[in-house]
Amino acid sequence: MPRSVPDSLIVPIANGLSGRLDELTDDLVGRIVDEIEIYREPGVVPRAELRRSVRSNLEYMLHRLAHGRALELLAPRSTGRERAGQGAPLPEVLRAFRLGSAFLWQRLLDSARASGQCSLDALLTVATDIWAMADDYSTALTESYRAAVGEAMILADRRRSALVAALLNGRSGENHTAWEIAKLLDMPYDGLFLVVVAETPELGRPALPGLEERLRALDVASAWRTGPEHEIVILSYGRRRTDEIRSLVAKFASARVGMSPPYSRLDRTPRALRFAKIAVETFESDATGVRQLPDTPMAELVMGNLDTTRRFVRRVLGRVLTMADDDRSTLITTAEAWLNARSSAAEAGRVLYCHENTVRYRMRRLEERLDGDLDDPATVAELAAALQAIRTFPELGARLTPDPFEDANDR
């Protein structure tokens, strides 16, 4: 820090340079622009702004030399914040400061020599204080710059999170359209998208650590929103394959992760979020990995209302769900294979690695526990919907308590 009482021989030198402040400012601005490329770039630091800042900082340093009082470091702090807001790199800003300090020292030295040996000796005596002042300046500028950058990052994260929330909640029209939000998030409005909902393993820990950097390396755009229980990501994956993205997400999963079906327009994000949420919520509680639901009319139908879906499953498959675990699982698995094989017992048998007559026997057992014949398209449709509901919500396929009034042969 400079001395509290200024040296009487330094005061006139500092005051003399203060009287030439405009000339000194022009000289220093010219030197900065000549030697530092960033200050020659249009749109970064306007020349008028650079001149104002240089003048303010020179005036600040000369005032301290002349008056010896430690003023608040308003000038360097202001410069730091301004350069951070303009996007000027901190190393280049500090380089300009070093040029300014060397420039001022040279002018002080020239003036002291012109005043005589006593003034020169006095200047050399306080040289340490002058460079300590320059160090205070540099520190204040750096701290202010970094604080401004940190604040800007926090504000940007908050704004980005709010934009992501607007997309997820389908409320984009209140302030921005989905198309405008896409531009602000640096995403296309039309393309290929996925929503990922990842369960947070514990409060404060990221659900998918390292994934964002990996996605960036693959040129996959992502927008994140973090909550206490889940991390939600919107992915724009362009020409990448869906299965490639799913495999990548699975590598970074530390708990349950739900993934939506692909969708092609950003304003459909709320619907995709619903698929992803149900996928993670209906995943086995101790699972780790990715679960993705298909985007089919039947899947969307059974997702409409869980209570209604549960009642529907019990009405269609209630007597099947009262069976012992092995029998229940066998009949449900066989029914799915039979439906996928378009009612072909032979084809279903090949998938299940059993004889086609075994498939027919199991399907007869299943039919006995349904409210209709499998020759009836309505019965088949209800069976397909109930099985889809169980695939979507596995807990709906859990065993039910048998009805004590059931026929003994059906137990």
The CATH number of residue 92's host domain is: 1.10.490
Residue 411 is predicted with a pLDDT of: 38
Both 146 and 15 in a single domain? yes
What are the C-alpha distances in Å from 115 to residues 13, 43, 58, 119, 163?
A: 8, 43, 21, 6, 64
Report CA dihedral (343, 347, 352, 358) to the nearest 10 degrees. 70
Both 309 and 287 in a single domain? no
Contact 216, 248 (CB under 8 A): no
256: helix, coil or strand?
strand
Mean per-residue pLDDT over the chain, rounded:
85
Share of the chain above pLDDT 90, in %: 35
* pLDDT-derived band at 190, boundaries 50, 70, 90: very high
Alpha carbon 406 to its chain's center: 55
Spatial distance between the Cα atoms of 259 and 252, rounded to a whole number of angstroms: 13
Residue type, 150: G
Does a structural domain hold residue 124? yes
| Residue environment code for 90-127, b if the CB has 16+ CB neighbours within 10 A, otherwise e | eebbbbbbebbbebbeebbeebbeebeeebbebbeebe
Does a structural domain hold residue 405? no
Does a structural domain hold residue 407? no
Both 308 and 276 in a single domain? no
Structural domain ending residue among the three candidates 295, 326, 358: 295
Both 41 and 116 in a single domain? yes
Both 290 and 377 in a single domain? no
Output 287 or 408, whichever has higher pLDDT: 287
Both 276 and 347 in a single domain? no
Which DSSP helix (H) or strand (E) runs through 112? helix 90-115
Average pLDDT over residues 4-14: 72
Q: Which of 80-94, 179-193, 269-283, 346-360 has the highest mean pLDDT?
A: 346-360
Average pLDDT over residues 319-341: 93
Both 287 and 184 in a single domain? yes
Average pLDDT over residues 17-40: 90
Does a structural domain hold residue 277? yes
Spatial distance between the Cα atoms of 210 and 15, rounded to a whole number of angstroms: 57
Residue type, 313: V
The CATH number of residue 286's host domain is: 3.30.70
Both 273 and 357 in a single domain? no
Residue 119 is predicted with a pLDDT of: 81
Total domains in the chain come to: 3
Does a structural domain hold residue 50? yes
Domain that holds residue 334: 304-397
Both 279 and 341 in a single domain? no
Does a structural domain hold residue 173? no
What single DSSP character describes residue 403?
P
pTM for the whole thing? 0.60
* pLDDT-derived band at 5, boundaries 50, 70, 90: very low
Alpha carbon 100 to its chain's center: 40
Average pLDDT over residues 128-147: 85
Residue 152 is predicted with a pLDDT of: 79
Both 268 and 360 in a single domain? no
Does a structural domain hold residue 174? no
The CATH number of residue 371's host domain is: 1.10.10.2840
Structural domain ending residue among the three candidates 243, 272, 295: 295
Q: CA nearest 28: which of 60, 45, 53?
A: 53
Structural domain ending residue among the three candidates 265, 295, 325: 295
pLDDT in tens, 206-250: 888 889 999 988 999 999 888 888 899 999 998 899 999 999 999
Residue 1 is predicted with a pLDDT of: 41
Check pLDDT > 60 for residue 184: yes
Which DSSP helix (H) or strand (E) runs through 46? none
Residue type, 205: R
Both 41 and 141 in a single domain? yes
Both 129 and 18 in a single domain? yes
Does a structural domain hold residue 33? yes
